[in-house]
Structure 1
Amino acid sequence: MNHGLILFGHGSRDPEWARPLREVAAQVAAGDGAPQVELAFLEFLEPTLEQACDRLAAAGVTRIAVLPMFIAQSGHVRRDLPAQLDAARARHPSLRIDLATAVGEDPRVQAVMAEVARAALAG
């Protein structure tokens, strides 16, 4: 099974806003056996989720995990993203598209954020 990963961010009018997401995508895509990685954005930036799914499908991916790069399960993640996922699934019925929990909900991410917060006091 050929896997793909979409890192899904909110987006911004400032393209530089996406730099950290591009860096995460590059780290995930590095190395042997790495999944194909795409970024996708809710608004202001491209590619959209639809475009990212189209790219992965064209590359032969059969399963996609969509990881919301949000601090929490916000309204966008609970409302807007599921509607976009439904549209992507209808457009690509042979693809398995799974939605992961928002990255900020992961205790490992929370631990790193706490470490960075403590470092801000020291620095």
Structure 2
Amino acid sequence: MEAILYICHGSRVKQAADEAVAFIQKVMQKVDAPIQEIGFLELAEPSIAESFERCVNKGATTIIAVPILLLTAAHAKEDIPEEIAHLQSRFPKIELKFGKPIGVHKKMIEILLERIKETSIPIKQNASVLLVGRGSSDPDVKRDLTTIGKLLEQKSFVKQVQVCFLTAAEPSFEQALERLRQDEVEQIFVIPYLFFTGILMRKIEKTIQKIKREHGPDYILCDYLGYHPIIEDILYEQISELQNQK
């Protein structure tokens, strides 16, 4: 019997975990699998181990582990595989299949364009977009977000798209904002490349509020990605491929 194990990052902010569960429940409605469970890597419950064991106890013989992550970094490369490998050693008869983070996907650009459009603010001639990622010491994260930024620049009506990071990579959010201010960009759309709300989203909001008080209104904070129907479709396609994999 086949099971899908959706693996989320987790957050200290309850709203973030609630958003994750609500989104995955929508994906579950599309996926044809007799067993579907949600587990969190950290900071929320149930844990990956608890959800894995629930799959086994319900009769799973194959488990498809799907990381609900935007970009490929240490969580996808090390933390989650190590946790799953440990669990598989306890249940060696279970066949395991791994999904992958969304990564660089052209459909994600549609969400970013939507986030700009839904502000209902006319785009000025000298406008820029600042794409704000979580950040990681893994160079693949910086490379992938930069690629996404370039794809957005090609599709949007803004002069330039720059990327920055909230932790563990440069340029930092503050560095990027200062650089754009020095370049005398007259309008900046800030898009948090985050799945859910939480501590990092609050940091962005606080910083933008402070800058708007000091430098004027043309710093526009767009909504974070959220669990968008396009992301539902991307995950559904990935799970379907794994289900058909022999």
Give the TM-score category using the shorter length.
0.7 to 0.9
Q: Is the 8 A contact 1:5 1:67 kept in 2?
A: yes
The aligned counterpart of 1:12 is 11
- What TM-score results when the alignment is normalised by the length of structure 1? 0.84
Q: Is the 8 A contact 1:29 1:35 kept in 2?
A: no
| C-alpha distance in structure 2 between counterparts of 1:83 and 1:31, whole Å | 29
| C-alpha distance in structure 2 between counterparts of 1:67 and 1:32, whole Å | 12
User: For residue 79 of structure 2, what is the amino acid of its counterpart?
Assistant: D
The aligned counterpart of 1:28 is 27
Q: CA deviation at 1:106?
A: 6.5
| C-alpha spacing 1:96/1:32, structure 2 compared with 1 (3 Å) | closer
- What TM-score results when the alignment is normalised by the length of structure 2? 0.44
User: For residue 117 of structure 2, what is the amino acid of its counterpart?
Assistant: A
Q: CA deviation at 1:50?
A: 0.9
The reply to whether residue 117 of structure 1 matches residue 112 of structure 2 is yes
Equivalences, count: 118
Kindly report the root-mean-square deviation, in angstroms, between the aligned alpha carbons of the 2 structures: 1.9
For the residue of structure 2 that corresponds to 1:18, the secondary structure is helix
1:9-64 superposed Cα distances (whole Å, 9 cap, x missing partner): 11111122123321233223337943421111111111111111100000001111
Q: Is the 8 A contact 1:29 1:36 kept in 2?
A: no
The aligned counterpart of 1:56 is 55
| C-alpha distance in structure 2 between counterparts of 1:58 and 1:73, whole Å | 30
Q: Determine which of 75, 93, 105 is the counterpart of 2:103.
A: 105
Gap runs ≥5 in structure 1: none
User: For residue 109 of structure 2, what is the amino acid of its counterpart?
Assistant: A
Q: CA deviation at 1:99?
A: 1.4
| C-alpha distance in structure 2 between counterparts of 1:122 and 1:21, whole Å | 24
**Structure with more relative contact order (C-alpha pairs < 8 Å, separation 6 or more):** 1
Q: Is the 8 A contact 1:65 1:98 kept in 2?
A: yes
| C-alpha distance in structure 2 between counterparts of 1:6 and 1:92, whole Å | 15
| C-alpha distance in structure 2 between counterparts of 1:27 and 1:35, whole Å | 15
Larger Rg: 2
The aligned counterpart of 1:78 is 77
Q: Is the 8 A contact 2:63 2:96 kept in 1?
A: yes
User: For residue 66 of structure 2, what is the amino acid of its counterpart?
Assistant: L
| C-alpha distance in structure 1 between counterparts of 2:4 and 2:58, whole Å | 12
The aligned counterpart of 1:87 is 86
For the residue of structure 2 that corresponds to 1:45, the secondary structure is coil
Identity within the alignment, %: 22
